[in-house]
Structures are given as C-alpha cells and as structure tokens.
Amino acid sequence: MEIKEVAHQKPETPASTGNREPIHWTKSTCPYCGIGCALEVGVKNGKVVKVHGMKGHPINNGKICHLAETFPHVFDASGRLTRHMIRYDGGLVPVTLKEAIMHIATELRRIIESHGPNAVAFHGGAANPVYDDFSKQPELNFSAVSVSKTAPDR
C-alpha cells in the first residue's frame, strides 16, 4: 500500500497571509511531547509561517500548547542546524547520516562500558517513536525511563 501526503488549501484573509501569496497547508504531528497533537502547518515561499491545531482530531481537537505555536520561529532560528554535524576539535563538521548515527552509537557504547547501563536513557516525543527499537537492541542495553505526559486543556 502506498501512502501519499495530501496538501489542502485553507481560506486565508489578507491579514493572516501578509499578501496574496497562498499558504500551503499540510498535516503533521507535534514533536514536543509524547501526546502527539495533530497540527496543520502553513508553508509560504518555502518557510513555515503558521501552525495551528487540527480541529476534530481525537487527541487535541484543534487546541495546541504554546510550544507548538512557536514552530515558525524554530525553523528560522539563527544557528539552527540544518544538516548532520559532529563536533571535532571544538568545531562542527558536516557528516553523512550514517556517520552521525555511528558516532552516536560508539559514544553510547563507550558511556555504557565506562559507567554501566543506567548511565544512558532515551527520551522521545510523538515524532520520535524509536525508543522501542533502541530498547530492543541488547548491545545498547538502555535503561527504561518513565515519562509523564500532559495534554493541553480540552
């Protein structure tokens, strides 16, 4: 089965768009906590310009917290990394995704060997549901972490 993302246009007012250039809306999931609030993300000229909750969604019914509202600013933050990097000799060096993952795995193994399995834990949000995959890797021997989840007022 093939799954395709379907974008849709929402009516916009001149005040909300800043000009007549339409905003392209796409569906997404908020990555900030483990709840998984549904978002509609507005993109204009290749930049995220608006974010709001998806009305009718069973998780958040259109409501979002302040963190999700800040998404447009996150994507334009100065100093934001936009590619895979590893710090060598005090500076950041571009690397491939495979090199970054291997570097992380090597460092995690080193920490576990030096300090034991309780020295490493994993925390992920709704957009990072890989804890189960990592926790099933016996060579990494991750400790389980309990994370409380909170939802915006409904």
Q: Which residues on neighbouring strands pair with residue 27, listed in sequence order?
A: 40
Q: Is residue 7, in this structure, part of any structural domain at all?
A: no
Residues 22 and 69 placed together within one structural domain of the fold: yes
Q: 99 and 127 share a domain?
A: yes
| pLDDT, tens digit (0-9, with 9 covering 90-100), for 57-83 | 998 999 999 888 888 888 878 888 889
Does the residue 68 lie in any domain? yes
Counting every residue written for the chain, the total comes to 154
Question: Does the pLDDT of residue 115 top 90, yes or no?
Answer: yes
Domain annotation covers residue 144 = no
Asked if residue 6 belongs to a domain, the reply is no
> Does residue 66 sit in the same domain as residue 33?
yes
- Name the residue range of residue 56's domain: 14-75
The answer, yes or no, to whether residue 138 has pLDDT greater than 60, is no
Torsion sign over Cα 121, 101, 76, 49: negative
Q: Quick one: pLDDT at residue 91?
A: 92
- Domain check: are 71 and 96 in the same one? no
Asked if residue 92 and residue 66 are part of one domain, the reply reads: no
Residue 143 lies in a domain: no
Of 56, 75, 94, which marks where a domain is finished? 75
Local structure of residue 139 (DSSP, 8 states): T
Q: With 70 as the cut, is the pLDDT of residue 17 above it?
A: no
What distance lies between CA 50 and its chain's CA centroid? 16
Number of structural domains in the chain: 2
List, as one string, the DSSP characters of 23-91: PEEEEEE--SSSS--EEEEEEETTEEEEEEE-TT-TTTTT---HHHHTHHHHHT-TT---S-EEEETTE
Report if residue 113 sits inside a domain: yes
Do 25 and 69 fall within a single domain? yes
3-state SS assignment for residue 115:
helix
Please report whether residue 64 resides in a domain.
Answer: yes
Residues 95 and 66 in one domain: no
- Rounded Cα–Cα distance for residues 32 and 125 (Å): 6
**For the sheet containing 47-53, what is the strand order?**
24-29, 38-44, 47-53
- State the pTM of this model: 0.52
